Structure 1
Amino acid sequence: MQSHDYVIVGGGSAGCVLAERLSASGRYSVLLLEAGGSNWSPWIGLPLGYGKLFYHPRMNWQLQTEADAALDGRKGYWPRGKVLGGSGSINAMVYARGLPHDFDDWEGAGATGWGWENVEKTYQAMETHVGTDGREVGSGPVHVQDISDQIHPVNRHFFAAAEEAGHPVCDDFNSPSAEGAATYRINTHRGRRDSSARAYLARARGRANLRIVTHAHVARIGFEGARAVSVTYHRRGRAVTVRAGREIILSAGSIASPQILQRSGLGAASLLQQAGITPLFNLPQVGENLQDHLAVSYFFRATEPTLNNDLAPLWGKIRAAIRYALTRKGPLALSVNQCGGYFRSDPGLNRPDQQLYFNPVTYTTRVVEGRRTVINPDPFPGFIICHQPCRPTSRGKIAIAGADPMAAPLIMPNSLATEEDRAAVIAGGRLCQDLVRSKALSGLIASSMDPTDLREMDDDTILADFRARAATVYHPTGTCRMGQDAGNSVVDPSCRVHGVSGLRVIDASVFPNVTSANTNAPTMMVANRAADLILESA
């Protein structure tokens, strides 16, 4: 039986960071197991290739939730990365640290040492900020690109509308005091996606003490007494068991990490028995506390050219491709999400409660051979404005359907379960309504593309429309959350699983609360900070 000092389960945004950090000294042998395949694909490296990855069966797990009563009984589509780099290899690359109070709330929830004062230092160590002139600040492996010189000219109307409505304009979306309309920073380097697979794992691949195994579907963790000692995975029809001399680290993400714990006998005893699993350690919080950002997009035809005009026609695609090939700039080098920011839906609030997106493009999807796929931008000018409440209070859960490691999980979002969340939806709709009714944006609107025009909605219609059309923004977190004891959490502030030794969970599932915006940057931060804790204890 093979043995390694550290066995990392999951080569996603967190796992790639951990593999590089733990193997860097050469003192420890590290095995990285990834259920998906290689991250080599031109669509992954190409920033605007995001549209091709959204429904790609080879690079996307294409998960589906259970019917969500609050969303008119609809089943949600949850894309998850099926390659090295995980969802960080297929996402829209918005780099959002989160707001300081997000992490102070983590500490208040029992994640001692994870307040803003500490995590800010981790962010600073992992980042290199690249200005519009190419000047770099910092020396971290993750490149954070300022694209404000490349965004489409139509975005100027969004900034003007924000100012007209009394909201500030923010120069740096990742500053501690970020609020108002901003150009999003994205994690790209020289015009290519800079996921953790590229920023971290690529530079560790040649190390003799690091082994990477893809297409490895982990079935369970093995224990000797209360110590985790082995991992069994399936690959190409064969079961393989490996031992960990020091620790096993689950970094399979907020969906898969709780499933692996449950299949290994850690979880609520009643759930495990129902699934045919012998309970070993009663940890009722495994799979609980699921949080996510829900958003709705409002589509409008525009009165002036947008990105649709540049990318819908064949000649426009050719021109953009030539520009990208020669300069690594232009629309193909950008995220689909160009502008947005943190906003207060009410000036009396003490913190921003809504994240907005403003995209200078509209698009549709179609079904090809039974599979949804993103097609061309629309053949007319258009734009999207979108809102998501920053800190939802509803809680869902993840559960296994049985012992089969290949079986799809049961994802139960439990959306809009609280009055606070329903009120936040209406507040976000009103915020967007104020913007599109402004002089700055109303002149850009030719017509609404939605069943109901946002400009005419009352509170009840805003909520009903949200129930009918809202979808995840792909930020599931919290299902193995950090805390002080097994009664309210799964791992301690060092990410060690309560009640056992030799086992940690390090990924977005340990977030006590979802951060106020996109979650990929905080996930890499958690992995970096947790790596420090592991190396200190070693």
Structure 2
Amino acid sequence: MHNYDYIVVGAGSSGCVVASRLSEDPQTRVLLIEAGASTDDFWVNTPAGMARLFGSERFNWRFKTAPIATLDGRQVQWDRGKGLGGSSAINGMIYMRGQPEDYDLWARLGNPGWAWADVLPYFKRSEHNVRGASSNHGDQGPLWVSDPEEVHPAAHDFISACANLGIPRSSDLNAPPYPAVGVRQYTIRQGRRHSAYKAFIEPVRQRPNLDILSNAHVTRVLLEGQEASGVEVLHDGQRRAILAAREVILSAGAIASPQLLLLSGIGEAAQLQRHGIAVRHELPGVGRNLQDHWYASFAWRCTADSSVNHRLSGLRKYLEGARYLLTHGGYLALGAAPVTAYTRSEVDGPVDLQLSLNPMSFSASASGEVAADAYPGISASVVLLSPHSRGHLELASADPLQAPLLHPNYFSDERDVRRHLAGLRQLRQIVQAPPLGQRVIEEVRPGAQCASDEQLFDYLKRCGGTGWHPVGTCKMGHDPSAVVDARLRVHGVGRLRVIDASIMPVIPTGNTNAPCIMIGEKGADLIRADALAARTLAA
């Protein structure tokens, strides 16, 4: 293994973009390091296979939070992608950017260059949108963005029910104005998952100046004085150093990037000293500002023609499988719930709720396996998009192979409780509204008896779950808790950047995969614009 100009740690939604864009210059030597392996697998490539990946040790880190006091001591599994493509290889493939106001807020918080007008060109640059180019979308990028192959009549009735309650219809949920209801788009290409690896790395993998090292666990960033000089990796049972002549880029995600900084002696001094790690640069914000989306789902028994459960159970699921093998079509070619409404929890408040409907319902077995219910059912969920609650992560030990302790502190801010309960009540109102209400027979989960605020909050805590969107643990900004500046450079440490979900100062009001890809696009441009001179490194 020789030396490189740039080392990118993490082949996920941001890291794949950074490595691909930097290696466009044939004179630039780029190494992309991934702790997992190939994700070329039938169930990874099949959109509906995501349900099987929750229990996968091969493709999923399956982190567990520490016991969460605000959830009565419950621990929550945090699914994170392990392998080429990162979480874009196991997610629901939803392509949602959030709202323009999200990015304008980032800029107002002291991050010039991150307002909506600044980031929209990067969203567009990455896109190959099947609808074609427009003022909001691109069609020349590597990432396929497509419409669902099939939208069930019950899903269309959800849109109509929302419209009947005053939520405007939208032909493009990735463009203002909001509130809005419509059909989602997905990172699916011709019936197959189009992960960041498939889009940005696989087509250029033969570039002679781009190397990929998989099954390699980065244990720390190497420092010379106050500059990053490379990384230490554990590969094939051996630890070794790999040097970077220009920069080291951490794109390992909102859990692993702050963990790596801490393991490298960059973080809160007291925490580092507690684990016997020498303090190289005190930066107390590392691991702080943790944010995530929380959601809860309801399920209803419905008329037989309102659900596809029968197509996904018994012998029919094998017919559906055969259809997919032959055509890459049918319900196995679909991502998560196809229709979504963005609404307000309070009449005069901001748009802070995401309500989604699926013309199917699922139950999980004791082993965690998810399967369609035996009865005709539909399900719908509520996500609180702008939580006020903040958590943190910390090292469990100085062992780089031990997962950090995750403390998300869901519902530690009472405003989140009030707004989420309002969303649950609003969802019930929509499902009972015509024409969707004519399809509904009875509510199965949690059931009509779950009616008071106390009962609904108890259900939210017991049966809700993570939205799989942890962000913010290496916050961008200039206040004392910030970790990187607006050019994504780690404060106080030269030649070291963080480019992934961890830099988000505030979580977007939408899904996070598309924003992570945008961050990779913009981050690569920032690196190229700064063009640090290469250093001569010792062998």
TM-score normalised by L of structure 2: 0.95
What does 1:103-502 align with in structure 2 at a 5 Å threshold?
Answer: 103-131=103-131, 138-147=139-148, 150-305=150-305, 306-314=307-315, 316-349=316-349, 351-368=350-367, 372-374=368-370, 376-453=371-448, 457-485=451-479, 487-502=480-495
Instruction: Give the Cα–Cα distance (whole angstroms) in 2 for the partners of residues 75 and 416 of structure 1.
Output: 14
Instruction: Give the Cα–Cα distance (whole angstroms) in 1 for the partners of residues 454 and 433 of structure 2.
Output: 22
CA shift for structure 1 position 420: 1.6
Instruction: Give the Cα–Cα distance (whole angstroms) in 2 for the partners of residues 105 and 76 of structure 1.
Output: 30
When residues 451 and 431 of structure 1 are mapped into structure 2, their CA distance, relative to the original with a 3 A threshold, is closer
- Name the SS of the counterpart of 1:87 in structure 2: helix
CA shift for structure 1 position 45: 1.1
CA shift for structure 1 position 217: 0.9
CA shift for structure 1 position 323: 2.9
Comparing 189-198 and 301-310, the one that deviates more: 301-310
Contact 2:145–2:187 (CA<8 Å) still a contact in 1?
yes
1:512 aligns with 2:508: no
Write out per-residue CA displacement over residues 479-520 of structure 1, whole angstroms, 9 at most, x where no aligned residue.
0011025x1310001100000101000000001110001100
Instruction: Give the Cα–Cα distance (whole angstroms) in 1 for the partners of residues 163 and 98 of structure 2.
Output: 23
Instruction: Give the Cα–Cα distance (whole angstroms) in 1 for the partners of residues 63 and 10 of structure 2.
Output: 17
- Name the SS of the counterpart of 2:400 in structure 1: coil
Q: Which amino acid aligns with 2:214?
A: T
CA shift for structure 1 position 162: 0.7
Instruction: Give the Cα–Cα distance (whole angstroms) in 2 for the partners of residues 22 and 179 of structure 1.
Output: 38
Contact 1:262–1:400 (CA<8 Å) still a contact in 2?
yes
Q: Which amino acid aligns with 2:180?
A: G
Contact 1:173–1:179 (CA<8 Å) still a contact in 2?
no
Q: Which amino acid aligns with 2:509?
A: S
Instruction: Give the Cα–Cα distance (whole angstroms) in 2 for the partners of residues 156 and 125 of structure 1.
Output: 31
Instruction: Give the Cα–Cα distance (whole angstroms) in 2 for the partners of residues 247 and 139 of structure 1.
Output: 29
Contact 2:130–2:144 (CA<8 Å) still a contact in 1?
yes
Instruction: Give the Cα–Cα distance (whole angstroms) in 1 for the partners of residues 145 and 253 of structure 2.
Output: 23
Contact 1:9–1:249 (CA<8 Å) still a contact in 2?
yes
Instruction: Give the Cα–Cα distance (whole angstroms) in 2 for the partners of residues 55 and 449 of structure 1.
Output: 25
Comparing 421-430 and 199-208, the one that deviates more: 421-430
CA shift for structure 1 position 347: 3.5
2:527 paired residue number: 534
1:503 aligns with 2:499: no
When residues 457 and 260 of structure 1 are mapped into structure 2, their CA distance, relative to the original with a 3 A threshold, is same
When residues 137 and 326 of structure 1 are mapped into structure 2, their CA distance, relative to the original with a 3 A threshold, is farther
Contact 1:276–1:402 (CA<8 Å) still a contact in 2?
no
Instruction: Give the Cα–Cα distance (whole angstroms) in 2 for the partners of residues 276 and 402 of structure 1.
Output: 9
When residues 410 and 45 of structure 1 are mapped into structure 2, their CA distance, relative to the original with a 3 A threshold, is same
Write out per-residue CA displacement over residues 172-218 of structure 1, whole angstroms, 9 at most, x where no aligned residue.
11113243221110011111111110000101210111111111111
Q: Which amino acid aligns with 2:396?
A: A
Contact 1:127–1:141 (CA<8 Å) still a contact in 2?
yes
- Name the SS of the counterpart of 1:208 in structure 2: coil
Q: Which amino acid aligns with 1:510?
A: I
CA shift for structure 1 position 326: 3.6
Instruction: Give the Cα–Cα distance (whole angstroms) in 1 for the partners of residues 44 and 178 of structure 2.
Output: 29
- Name the SS of the counterpart of 1:301 in structure 2: strand
Q: Which amino acid aligns with 2:524?
A: A
CA shift for structure 1 position 142: 1.0
Contact 1:184–1:341 (CA<8 Å) still a contact in 2?
no
1:76 paired residue number: 76
**Unpaired runs of at least 5, structure 1:** none
Q: Which amino acid aligns with 1:479?
A: T
Aligned length: 526
Contact 1:266–1:282 (CA<8 Å) still a contact in 2?
yes
Instruction: Give the Cα–Cα distance (whole angstroms) in 2 for the partners of residues 119 and 330 of structure 1.
Output: 35
Write out per-residue CA displacement over residues 415-446 of structure 1, whole angstroms, 9 at most, x where no aligned residue.
11112211211221121122133243333222
CA shift for structure 1 position 279: 1.1
Contact 2:66–2:407 (CA<8 Å) still a contact in 1?
yes
Comparing 352-361 and 152-161, the one that deviates more: 152-161
**Unpaired runs of at least 5, structure 2:** 532-539
Instruction: Give the Cα–Cα distance (whole angstroms) in 2 for the partners of residues 233 and 163 of structure 1.
Output: 54
Write out per-residue CA displacement over residues 202-257 of structure 1, whole angstroms, 9 at most, x where no aligned residue.
01210111111111111111111101102001112110110000000000000000
RMSD of aligned residue pairs (Cα, Å): 1.6
Comparing 70-79 and 88-97, the one that deviates more: 70-79
Write out per-residue CA displacement over residues 331-367 of structure 1, whole angstroms, 9 at most, x where no aligned residue.
1111132111311233322x31101111111112224
CA shift for structure 1 position 409: 1.2
Instruction: Give the Cα–Cα distance (whole angstroms) in 2 for the partners of residues 109 and 468 of structure 1.
Output: 35
Contact 2:128–2:140 (CA<8 Å) still a contact in 1?
yes
2:537 paired residue number: none
Instruction: Give the Cα–Cα distance (whole angstroms) in 1 for the partners of residues 71 and 120 of structure 2.
Output: 36
Contact 2:259–2:287 (CA<8 Å) still a contact in 1?
yes
2:534 paired residue number: none
2:536 paired residue number: none
User: Runs (4+) of structure 1 moved beyond 6 Å?
Assistant: none
- Name the SS of the counterpart of 1:449 in structure 2: strand
- Name the SS of the counterpart of 1:353 in structure 2: strand
When residues 154 and 313 of structure 1 are mapped into structure 2, their CA distance, relative to the original with a 3 A threshold, is farther
Contact 1:307–1:360 (CA<8 Å) still a contact in 2?
yes
Instruction: Give the Cα–Cα distance (whole angstroms) in 1 for the partners of residues 128 and 176 of structure 2.
Output: 17
Contact 2:9–2:249 (CA<8 Å) still a contact in 1?
yes
Contact 2:346–2:419 (CA<8 Å) still a contact in 1?
no
CA shift for structure 1 position 86: 0.4
Write out per-residue CA displacement over residues 141-161 of structure 1, whole angstroms, 9 at most, x where no aligned residue.
1111022x6112221221122
- Name the SS of the counterpart of 1:67 in structure 2: coil
Instruction: Give the Cα–Cα distance (whole angstroms) in 1 for the partners of residues 414 and 66 of structure 2.
Output: 22
Instruction: Give the Cα–Cα distance (whole angstroms) in 2 for the partners of residues 439 and 459 of structure 1.
Output: 25
CA shift for structure 1 position 451: 4.2
Comparing 119-128 and 157-166, the one that deviates more: 157-166
Instruction: Give the Cα–Cα distance (whole angstroms) in 2 for the partners of residues 413 and 155 of structure 1.
Output: 33
